[in-house]
């Protein structure tokens, strides 16, 4: 059965909006774990717009499941990761002006740097995932640079405006997953997933873990963190969205 990684960045977004000490991302992470999350994901952005270095250190001390650190492939971030030792680093492209991560990595364009950073992290016993679009060339390049995992960007699938677009995006994801699986890459998926659009993806049994943030935190605002996580866990377990 697939796993759920809960991305708690938006808890920090709310805290930073007022520059106060609440809501506390560490508490959100613990509650997500108690409600059945298999892992906690956070993105330490270069501009520190939501998560802070202090959050990363505290989460490393308190997360009892697995901590996945999303970050840009830069020397500064690799140094931070090697100091903190999350269970996994997911490299994502980062642009200062974007609201959220917009696209996957262009792996080939940065292959030498990626290869170097991946080795450094693996030597520090940190697994490395690359966030890529569902594109066969990107999957092959991720394998070539030595990644352990890929995280397939599901944003275009999530934003499909009609059945035809959804079909095309779904098929792209299936094809990318098949190739990744053949190449023995671990496969995660995420971005834009919610309590409805995840259902179809659950047919793709090679996907090991879903990283979901916005929809869970949005629901948590209304019904509480525990219930929001439990609802998503139930969908992933049963493959059914009928109660949601
Ligand atoms: N995976 C990656 C690599 C991301 O950058 C994000 C957004 O921070 C997510 C998953 C979660 O996306 P969403 O918040 O849309 O669920």
Give the mean pLDDT of 68-80: 98
Q: Convert the pLDDT of each residue in 3-28 to its tens digit.
A: 999 999 999 999 999 999 999 999 99
Closest ligand 1 atom to Cα of 10: 14
Question: How far, in Å, CA of 86 to CA of 119, rounded?
Answer: 15
**Does the structure show a pLDDT above 80 at 209?**
yes
* Confidence band, pLDDT 50/70/90 cuts, at residue 105: very high
Q: Quick one: pLDDT at residue 241?
A: 80
Q: Is 157 in the pocket of ligand 1 (CB under 6 A)?
A: no
Sequential DSSP letters for 174-197? HHHHHHHHHTT-EEEEESS--TTT
Question: How far, in Å, CA of 206 to CA of 87, rounded?
Answer: 21
Q: What would the two tokens of residue 162 be?
A: 């009609």
Q: Is 151 in the pocket of ligand 1 (CB under 6 A)?
A: yes
Name the residue ranges covered by the structural domains of the chain.
Answer: 3-238
Closest ligand 1 atom to Cα of 190: 10
* SS3 category, 150: strand
Give the mean pLDDT of 184-201: 98
Residue with tokens 């109660």: 243
Question: How far, in Å, CA of 132 to CA of 176, rounded?
Answer: 10
Distance (angstroms) between ligand 1 centre and the Cα of 212 equals 6
- Positions annotated as catalytic residues are 43, 70, 191
Distance of CA 68 to the CA centre of its chain: 8
What class, spelled out in words, does domain 3-238 have in CATH?
alpha beta
Let me know: does 66 contact 38? Beta carbons within 8 Å: yes
Distance (angstroms) between ligand 1 centre and the Cα of 12 equals 14
Question: How far, in Å, CA of 160 to CA of 164, rounded?
Answer: 8
């Amino acid at each position: 059965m697939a796993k759920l990684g809960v991305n708690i960045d938006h808890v920090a977004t709310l805290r930073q909006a007022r520059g106060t000490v609440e809501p506390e991302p560490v508490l959100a992470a613990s509650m997500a774990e108690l409600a059945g999350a298999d892992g906690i994901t956070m993105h330490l952005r270069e501009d520190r717009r939501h998560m802070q270095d202090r959050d990363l250190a505290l989460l490393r001390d308190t997360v009892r499941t697995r901590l996945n650190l999303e970050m840009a492939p830069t020397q500064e971030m690799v140094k931070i990761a090697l100091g903190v030792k999350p269970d996994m680093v997911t490299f994502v492209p980062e642009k200062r002006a974007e609201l959220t991560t917009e696209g996957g990595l262009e792996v080939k364009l940065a292959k030498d740097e990626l290869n170097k950073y991946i080795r450094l992290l693996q030597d520090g016993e940190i697994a490395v995932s690359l966030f890529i679009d569902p594109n066969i060339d990107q999957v092959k390049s991720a394998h070539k640079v030595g990644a352990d995992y890929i995280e397939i960007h599901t944003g275009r699938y999530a934003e499909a405006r009609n059945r035809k677009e959804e079909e095309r995006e779904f098929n792209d994801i299936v094809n990318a997953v098949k190739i990744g699986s053949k190449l023995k890459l671990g496969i995660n998926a995420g971005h834009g997933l919610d309590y409805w659009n995840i259902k179809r993806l659950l047919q793709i049994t090679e996907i090991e873990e879903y990283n979901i943030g916005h929809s869970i935190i949005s629901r948590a605002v209304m019904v509480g963190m525990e219930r929001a996580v439990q609802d998503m866990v139930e969908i992933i377990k049963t493959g059914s969205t009928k109660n949601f």
